[in-house]
């Protein structure tokens, strides 16, 4: 009885092996099909997750670049370089300022220097590796071609402790509060230099002269913006 049972088990095992050998190609096709189904279900999810990971990494890198740019004083893709103003108190001549950006930061002689968004304060006149000297509109040697308000009245802004607009035609009608705008090629067109405060005749009574109100005082300068891609 025992021998018969063993013989039956051996026959069943042999039958199973023969079946596997006969249908192995079909089984292989089944496994391949099953794998395709699994990939079809899970594959897109994996690809989406990879894409999300890449996007998250890009956002992280962008934030790091923005933070680094902020520390360096660079406004991304704007051509604007923010610089801090050194203090020379109490020996300040109130003509020139020195800032903490130089040739290492892409600064060159002649670059316009602004405050706020569109207000001219000076231009770069000398550059070192990490510092630059800026001539301001408070320099008596400063002269800039300007236009007054929305009119076609042209004049010259002369710098100094109290800058003023000179060579205004005698017959020009100038109103207090009108903006004084740049038309010199050294600076962006129609950027602001100040506004008319009062008007008088010059000593020879040939022209009008206007005192102007500036948007910022020399002593209030803490940071300035250098336009590194102008013109």
Same domain, 7 and 50: yes
Check pLDDT > 90 for residue 98: yes
Number of separate domains in the chain: 3
Q: Which pLDDT score, from 0 to 100, does residue 179 have?
A: 94
pTM (2 d.p.): 0.64
Check pLDDT > 90 for residue 127: yes
Region class of 182: left (phi > 0), else alpha (psi between -120 and 50), else beta: beta
In degrees rounded to 5, what are phi and psi of residue 29? -65, -35
Residue scoring higher pLDDT (149 or 12): 149
Same domain, 121 and 147: no
Lowest mean pLDDT of 90-99, 157-166, 205-214, 215-224, name the range: 90-99
User: What's the CATH code of the domain at 170?
Assistant: 2.40.10.350
Same domain, 65 and 84: no
Q: Which pLDDT score, from 0 to 100, does residue 205 have?
A: 86
Same domain, 178 and 133: no
Q: Where in the sequence is the domain holding 55, given as residue range(s)? A: 2-70
Same domain, 51 and 14: yes
Same domain, 147 and 206: yes
Distances in Å between the Cα of 68 and the Cα atoms of 55, 83, 107, 218 are 20, 15, 18, 29
Same domain, 123 and 160: no
Q: Which of 50, 70, 90 lies at the terminal end of a domain, its last residue?
A: 70
User: What's the CATH code of the domain at 110?
Assistant: 2.40.10.340
Same domain, 14 and 33: yes
Q: Which pLDDT score, from 0 to 100, does residue 188 have?
A: 95
Same domain, 176 and 199: yes
Lowest mean pLDDT of 7-11, 154-158, 225-229, name the range: 7-11
**What is the C-alpha to C-alpha distance for residues 230 and 113, in angstroms, rounded to an integer?**
10
Tokens 């699994």 correspond to what residue? 38
Q: Which pLDDT score, from 0 to 100, does residue 123 have?
A: 96
Per cent of the chain over pLDDT 90 is 50
* pLDDT per position as a tens digit, 150-206: 778 999 999 998 999 999 999 999 999 999 999 999 999 999 999 999 999 988 889
Same domain, 81 and 121: yes
Check pLDDT > 70 for residue 4: no
Same domain, 160 and 199: yes
* pLDDT per position as a tens digit, 78-97: 689 999 999 876 656 778 99
Q: Which pLDDT score, from 0 to 100, does residue 85 have?
A: 94
Same domain, 160 and 124: no
Preceding omega of 90 cis (within 30 degrees of 0): yes
What is the residue-averaged pLDDT of the chain?
A: 80
Distances in Å between the Cα of 70 and the Cα atoms of 65, 102, 107, 128, 174 are 8, 17, 17, 22, 42
């Amino acid at each position: 009885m025992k021998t018969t049972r063993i013989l039956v088990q051996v026959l069943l095992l042999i039958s199973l092996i023969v079946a596997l050998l006969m249908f192995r190609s079909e089984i292989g096709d089944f496994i391949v099909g099953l794998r395709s189904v699994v990939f079809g279900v899970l594959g897109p999810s994996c690809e989406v997750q990879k894409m999300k990971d890449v996007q998250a990494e890009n956002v992280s890198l962008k934030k790091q670049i923005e933070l680094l740019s902020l520390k360096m004083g660079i406004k991304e893709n704007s051509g604007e370089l923010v610089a801090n103003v050194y203090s020379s108190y109490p020996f300040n001549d109130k003509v020139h300022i020195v800032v903490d950006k130089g040739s290492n930061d892409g600064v060159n002689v002649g670059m316009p220097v602004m405050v706020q968004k569109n207000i001219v304060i000076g231009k770069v006149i000398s550059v070192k590796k990490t510092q630059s000297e800026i001539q301001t509109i408070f320099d008596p040697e400063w002269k800039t071609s300007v236009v007054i308000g929305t009119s076609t009245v042209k004049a010259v802004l002369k710098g100094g402790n109290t800058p003023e607009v000179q060579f205004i035609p005698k017959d020009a009608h100038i109103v207090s509060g009108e903006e004084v705008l740049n038309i010199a090629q050294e600076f962006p067109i129609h950027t602001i230099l100040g506004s008319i405060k009062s008007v008088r005749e010059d000593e020879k009574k040939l022209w009008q002269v206007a005192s102007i109100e500036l948007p910022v005082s020399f002593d209030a300068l803490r940071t300035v913006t250098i336009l590194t891609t102008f013109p």
